[in-house]
Amino acid sequence: MTETSACKRNLEVEIPAGEVEREYTRIAQGFQKKAKIPGFRPGKAPLSLVRQHFGTKIKEETIETLVPAHLRAAFERASLDPVSTPVLEKLDYVPGEPIKFSASFEVMPSFELGDYRGIRAELEPASVAVHEIDDAIEALRQRKSTHQPSDATVAADGLIADVSATGEGSEAHSLAIEVAGKETMPEFTAALRGMSIGEERDLEVSYPADYPNSRMANTTQKYHLKLNSIQQKVVPELTDAFVKEATGAETVEELRQRISDNIRHEREHDARHKAEESIIDQLLRQSDFPVPDSLVEKQVEAKLERNIRELADQGIDPRKLKVDWSKLRAKHEEGARREVRASLLLEKIATAENIEAEPEAVDAEVERAAIELKQPVEALRARLIENGVLDRIKNKIRQDKVLDFLIKNATSGA
C-alpha cells in the first residue's frame, strides 16, 4: 500500500500461483461439465481440451473471481473503506503464474475537529411590522382590482389608459397602463398624462439593467402610442366577504394573522439559514483538509441534475440548449467541494456527540414521501433501501440534528 495523496491510495497485489491455478482448474472443471466439443459427448471432453477451447473465458472468470476477493481482503486487513470504485491497472496474468495488479482508489481524509463547541452565531429575531401586513393586504386588493369604463376623456393619474402601442419593428398591440401606477415606467406616465382619447404620441423608454425581462434590460426602446379609451380602476373594499372569496380566510383578522405567520416563518427560515452558514464557515476555517475528488464529482452531478430538473419543470428541453457543460461543471465544483467538507465535518461531530437519526423520524419522512407520491409506504421503503436513498434520508436527518445542536450551542452563549 502506498499513499499517493491525502485521499488517494495505491495497492499492489500479487495472488500466489498455487491459488490461481486451483481457481483456474475449478472453473475449467465447471466448463467441462457443460462443454460441447465435436467428437465428445457433452461433459466428457478431456480437461486439457476444455482449457484449450475455453481458455479465454476461463481466464476471465478466474480474474473476476479472485481479484475482487483479494481486494476486499486487502481492504479489511488495512481497515480501509474506499469511497471510490478501485481503478485496476497493470493487470498481468498468465495461466500457471501469479496474478499481479495494482488498484488506485480514494479514502476518507483524516482530520481533527476544531473547537466546534466554542463557535458563536446570531439568530436574528423574526419580527413583523404592522405596515408589512398592511402592505401585503393592499397588494392583494390591487391584484383583485377591476377596470370599469370612465367618463374621463383625458388620461390622468390613477386612471387606466387603453392604448395601441407600436414598438420598433413590431406590430401594434393593446396595453392597459395605469397612469402613475407603481408598476408603470415613468416615461409611459409622462407620455400618457394629459393625453386625450384618439391622440397619438411618441416616446422613448430606457429600461434599467435589472429589468425583469432580460431581453429589454439595459436598452432604449421607441414606441408610438394611441389612446383608445380610458377606464377607472376599482379596488375592492376590505371586508370579511372579500377576504373569504379572495383567500379562503374567514375574516380580515384571520388573514392578517396568516400574513404575519407567513412572513415570520420565512424570516425564521432565513435567520436559521444565515446562522447555519455562519457556523459552517467557522467549522471550515477551524479544520482545513482535502476531500476525495469522487465525492466532489457526485455532488457536482447532483447539482447538474437539479439544474436539468428545473429546466424540465419550466418546459425547457436541456438537450436543445447550447450549454457548455464543462464550464457549468467547473462553476459548480467550488461549491460542491465546500458542501462535501461541511458534510464530513457534521458527520464527525455527530459521532463525537452520539447524535443519530431516530427511527421514528426516518419513518415519518418515508410516510410523508409516500403520501406525496401516492404510493404504499412499505413498497416505497423497499425501493428507497434498494437505491440507497434511505441512507441519504438518514444522513440528512442526522445532519439536521447536528445543526440544531450547533445552533443551540452557538446562540446560547454556553
Q: Is 72 in the same domain as 40? A: yes
- Any idea what DSSP says for residue 196? B
51 or 147, greater pLDDT = 147
Give the strand order in the sheet containing 2-3. 2-3, 8-15, 99-106, 87-92
Q: Is 268 in the same domain as 180? A: no
**H helix or E strand, kind and range, residue 2:** strand 2-3
Q: Confirm if 363 and 412 have CB atoms less than 8 A apart.
A: no
Mean pLDDT computed over 364-368: 92
Mean pLDDT computed over 191-217: 89
Count of domains for the chain: 5
Mean of all residue pLDDT scores within the chain: 90
Structural domain harbouring 360: 353-414
Tell me the C-alpha distance between 142 and 145, whole Å.
5
pLDDT of 226 above 90:
yes
Q: Does the CA dihedral 282-283-286-287 come out positive or negative?
A: negative
Q: Pick from 234, 251, 269: which residue ends a domain? A: 234
Mean pLDDT computed over 18-32: 89
Q: Is 95 in the same domain as 8? A: yes
| Whole-number pLDDT of residue 232 | 92
Examine residue 27 and state whether it is found in any structural domain, yes or no. Answer: yes
- The owner of cell 480474474 is 63
pLDDT grade for 100, boundaries at 50, 70 and 90: very high
| Whole-number pLDDT of residue 413 | 58
pLDDT of 256 above 90:
yes
Q: Is 91 in the same domain as 202? A: no
| Whole-number pLDDT of residue 162 | 93
pLDDT grade for 34, boundaries at 50, 70 and 90: confident
Examine residue 196 and state whether it is found in any structural domain, yes or no. Answer: yes
Q: Is 88 in the same domain as 34? A: yes
Q: Is 171 in the same domain as 189? A: yes
Q: Confirm if 86 and 103 have CB atoms less than 8 A apart.
A: yes
pLDDT of 395 above 80:
yes
Examine residue 77 and state whether it is found in any structural domain, yes or no. Answer: yes
* Cell representation of residue 348: 464527525
Share of the chain above pLDDT 70, in %: 100
Tell me the C-alpha distance between 155 and 331, whole Å.
51
Q: pTM value?
A: 0.74
Domain CATH number, residue 209 = 3.10.50.40
Examine residue 347 and state whether it is found in any structural domain, yes or no. Answer: no
